[in-house]
A and B are shown apart, each in its own frame.
Chain A
């Protein structure tokens, strides 16, 4: 086994016993097959990527290995022996450890305390002994960890490190990582991959679950592709490429090209000026964010998860408190179009002003929709107040719901179908359909294709492009940089709650954007006192200069904000 951690495939290990062998595993939930006759082989000391779209059964398959689910049928062999895994405890006993997408740590405990939690041993344990053990493990694989640091002070990446060490400490030889990179920056991802290679060199066998093709190619030795709960193929990673993997994942060749229709630039629809927000702990989640969105364009917003995207769209929608700045939206005042200040107003007040803003939040079932209600009741969520009667009118929304089902090809038995029972793509179609039905002037969508299969994703892109052609200002917050670069007309990059630049996606490279995403990542404690560093305005678009002139006839308060905005513009 090579200590350099190279990606070569060790064919000679075939003859050895497999670390894990799952044979003809079937698992059903009700009538749905999560896994159907799936077999999986994990060789000793390899990194196996488990690839598949959402809902293809990746997680449920490994959950049977880690003792969370129990298979309906099929056999599992670990190190050549047939085993029955009834609980996570059994899995630990077999040397199998899983790092879940959602960490399972006690917030007020330190890293070391979390690591020994639930371990057999004497009642009293020497703290120094544990910490030295942890430090030794960390040193061996190249982790960076402070054993005495409490979890609530940790970054996401540190929490993940703690989880991994916790599992190594328990003596696991087989590690399962469920979408470990979803929460990491590109740099942290590289570090994780380095650690994984070290662990592999040490003889650990690793399964990594992901749906990001680049990562599969970067880290794994072999790739196991699942589709709709069934095995599609197992390939040596070195012998494959993105196109082939996608085809296996989706089941047919897919053109990964996204359209970017050309539209004429339109009027100003949304202006955000120096928007600043704090979270409960007093840390700035948004720091002087300024931008303008115009009708007929898609403004993409890129950034590492947690860079302030959620706060930004919620603050604009009136759902998150801001401590400074202004948000102006195009409204009507005495028959003329004006920019109305809306910051600090609730969603109901904003809509009363005659401003039609649609917002597709990140948390679809937790914020955008009511999971336990049917499509009709969800469709009327935004409009039920429009009539004066104390009774709700369900006829109109029912017609709209039927219309949406037909137009967007929502797979549902009818308007009476409970939204929470629909598949992810159909849930998103209900949500976007409802928001578009408001005929908005501004449409904000947060991670609209997260968890959707490739087909549904492209349907959503089409819908957004349609709105853009209608002249709507679309603000698209996304996580996949490739998509953002292909779809948006301008791309705003957020880094730790600040705008690190607005760039032209036609000319900028992915690497440049990646750099901007981690720009000025400084200790949050001293961010507040400093003036914002000079911004990387790679495409300081012309409209920013026009900004001052466009909204002449506004109300007094709007003028006040305008002056501020101009001052801000000059300062740059």
Chain B
């Protein structure tokens, strides 16, 4: 027995949990990871037969080069940012709301109910208010349902919210094909929202972008300064402690998910009445899922979410541009975005752990941190 084991060597690589890394060093790591991502992406672009530098340059210009594209970038940022705030709220409670998509769709549908059918009754401001209220209520209820089941019977919220996305999607398809089908249209689509009912433009983009910025500040205050926010954190970190402290855990879960769903519903209203003016299966643009990444990369910090969502919107917008200029297939630019995500998320691992290679024991521990980041 022992003869075989005696041959064992020290393991080739080992993960060792780090002490706290100073924030400066952590940002240094993230910077390195970003450069490496660009490098890896550059190899991909080279393989496609283009000059990486000019492609990157056009990507940035494609997002920020002219007022028109800036507007487009902002339009992409707003839903992503607000959804991230919504999901981040639930995530702080360790409630994994994967149902942003469904909540957005339901918000859009509820707004559509007023937008399509009551536009001739109400004046524009009243109609807008009604659409906002209805959309947020619908999204809120759609977020509340899984939380009720979670609070009552401890069901798995990941599956529950995920499944509700498909229900919402099927519901939109049903409306598109049947009751809400545009008159005179040969294929299934909904009518367009009349011009007067659309959201007001401010600086070339619907005013939702101002609301989104305000929401960032409100969310920060809500998370960090209010009793509600404190309760959400306590419930998220330890529901036993919350119970012990006399916090009504069920109520906090349901209340928080209602707010989270309502914010997603708001996104639905804005996309419907401010961007698309109609409702399709693609109304969400998958922000309900992308926002999960935004919230995590920002570590649930609203200001961080602002930065990350602007960055991701830029990537998306930029990849559209290079798609048209260089005829790089859309899928390839998606791969590029994927590579950047991969490196940014992967580097968080190296911020938390260090990798010890065989034989490196003899070296002093503290000074080989720099090299490991490059192992990423």
Contacts and interface: CB of A to CB of B under 8 A. Distances in A.
Contact of A73 (B227, B245, B361): B361
Contacts of A30: 17-19
A311 to B, nearest CB: 14
Contact of B1 (A94, A347, A363): A94
A412 interface: no
Interface in A72-86: 72-73, 78-79, 81-86
Contacts, number: 106
Contacts of B1: 93-95, 171
B2 interface: yes
Chain A contact patch, size range: 35 or more
A381 B234 contact: yes
A94 B7 CA distance: 12
Most buried by A among B4, B11, B241: B241
Contacts of A86: 8, 10-11
Given A72-B361, A93-B5, A347 B237 contact: no
A93 B365 CA distance: 31
Contacts of A415: none
A317 B227 CA distance: 23
A381 B241 contact: yes
Interface in B236-278: 237-238, 240-241, 243-248
A366 B240 CA distance: 7
B246 A351 contact: yes
Contact of A83 (B8, B244, B248): B8
Contacts of B207: none
A70 B240 contact: no
A384 interface: yes
Contacts of B230: 377, 380, 384, 392
B178 to A, nearest CB: 45
Interface in B288-347: none
A382 B9 CA distance: 53
A72 B16 CA distance: 11
Interface string B210-230: 000000000000000111111
Most buried by B among A73, A78, A381: A381
A286 to B, nearest CB: 19
Contacts of B57: none
Interface in A335-391: 346-351, 359, 361, 363, 365-373, 377, 380-382, 384-385, 390-391
B154 to A, nearest CB: 13
A82 B226 CA distance: 60
Contacts of A381: 234, 241, 245
Interface string A182-209: 0000000000000000000000000000
Given A28-B365, A346-B243, A365-B238, 8 more contacts: A30-B17, A70-B11, A70-B14, A84-B8, A85-B8, A95-B2, A371-B238, A384-B230
14 contacts: A30-B17, A83-B5, A84-B9, A347-B245, A347-B246, A350-B246, A368-B244, A369-B241, A371-B237, A377-B230, A381-B234, A390-B228, A392-B226, A392-B227
Interface of B: 1-2, 4-6, 8-11, 14, 17-19, 225-230, 233-234, 237-238, 240-241, 243-248, 361, 365
